[in-house]
Structure 1
């Protein structure tokens, strides 16, 4: 049975994203060759431009894919835990992923350099909404002090993002990790009502 046009487009996009992800992780965004990555995918530059507009659009697609994978991993870190523990563990998991070379280079170093402030990326809007809902639930359950949930969510998400950026850019990321996670845990614990 012949593939539909939509299936062919999706396959082309997937091949380009996979090739770009490998190239960006290995060589960095600036050094990744458009000709090499399209050749590796068995496609042309025209396919890249048609599907993503340009190299920057391809980077956005790669970041969206990695971000979705990170979200799944964050949710897994909190699975089976209380709402509070899951909230904290998911934030810590995000920071801990900044030790991974692919995430460091693509999401935390090249992404902000090319696409600007990560807190303004479209995928961050969904993350912020989820954090607002979680904080509101924690307030409703009497676990978190009464606070504006959007303000608290923006600060918590910003703290996790900046901790991850700090780890990724550090000369000794592993040494910075412990300090970042400890400070993150201490900071969010300030939201909690005393048991």
Structure 2
């Protein structure tokens, strides 16, 4: 039997992630059969176990892919704004708005929370570090009051994450989003240097 190349192994891994992402999005984690998923992707369960260990490992890989895409979208929002403050505010609102997107809502905000316990510590550190950099810039500009940027980033990140879970958890997501954005705007106004 010929050994598979690294490129072939990575292609298999990506195909499994793509198939799982579609299945988790359509059926949810609990109702996705690994036998059906692997057969649909044209692989055996052995391929799944080799690359991800188990179904939870596959979910983790899917969540990491979606997280990276969300991060890229948020970066685009903040970096394309006319000024740093508006970019920061738009980025925070953008994160909350993503909570209504069906794929993010089901996979990241529902299934990942219940199955994996939420974001990984590594993902949380990345989000906080990214936000900390934006806040440090705003403090340096004199836009945001002088405060420890890591502490503020941790507070804002935690608030946004909990609000996103709350938005995704209810039948009235649009109302919850509107209420959350109103509360967010009040919170962000309080950060401004006077």
Which TM-score tier does this pair reach, normalised by the shorter chain? over 0.9
Distance between the aligned counterparts of 2:59 and 2:173, measured in 1? 24
- In structure 2, what is the equivalent of residue 154 of structure 1? 154
**Helix, strand or coil for the counterpart of 1:63?**
helix
1:80 CA drift (Å): 3.3
Distance between the aligned counterparts of 2:121 and 2:23, measured in 1? 22
1:123 CA drift (Å): 1.6
Number of positions where the alignment pairs a residue of Structure 1 with one of Structure 2: 190
1:123 counterpart = 2:123: yes
- In structure 1, what is the equivalent of residue 167 of structure 2? 167
Question: Which structure 2 residues correspond to residues 87-102 of structure 1 after superposition, within 5 A?
Answer: 87-102=88-103
Distance between the aligned counterparts of 1:12 and 1:96, measured in 2? 33
Distance between the aligned counterparts of 1:117 and 1:27, measured in 2? 19
Give unpaired runs (5+ residues) of structure 1.
Answer: none
Give unpaired runs (5+ residues) of structure 2.
Answer: none
1:110 counterpart = 2:126: no
Distance between the aligned counterparts of 1:115 and 1:121, measured in 2? 11
Distance between the aligned counterparts of 1:5 and 1:81, measured in 2? 47
Deviates more, 1:72-81 or 1:25-34: 72-81
- In structure 2, what is the equivalent of residue 8 of structure 1? 8
After the TM superposition, list the runs of 4 or more consecutive aligned residues in structure 1 that deviate by more than 3 angstroms: none
Distance between the aligned counterparts of 2:18 and 2:66, measured in 1? 11
8 A Cα contact 1:156 1:188, kept in partner: no
Cα pair distance change 1:105/1:170, threshold 3 Å: same
1:122 CA drift (Å): 2.0
Give TM-score, length-normalised by structure 1.
0.93
**Helix, strand or coil for the counterpart of 1:157?**
helix
Give TM-score, length-normalised by structure 2.
0.94
Cα pair distance change 1:121/1:111, threshold 3 Å: farther
1:61 CA drift (Å): 0.5
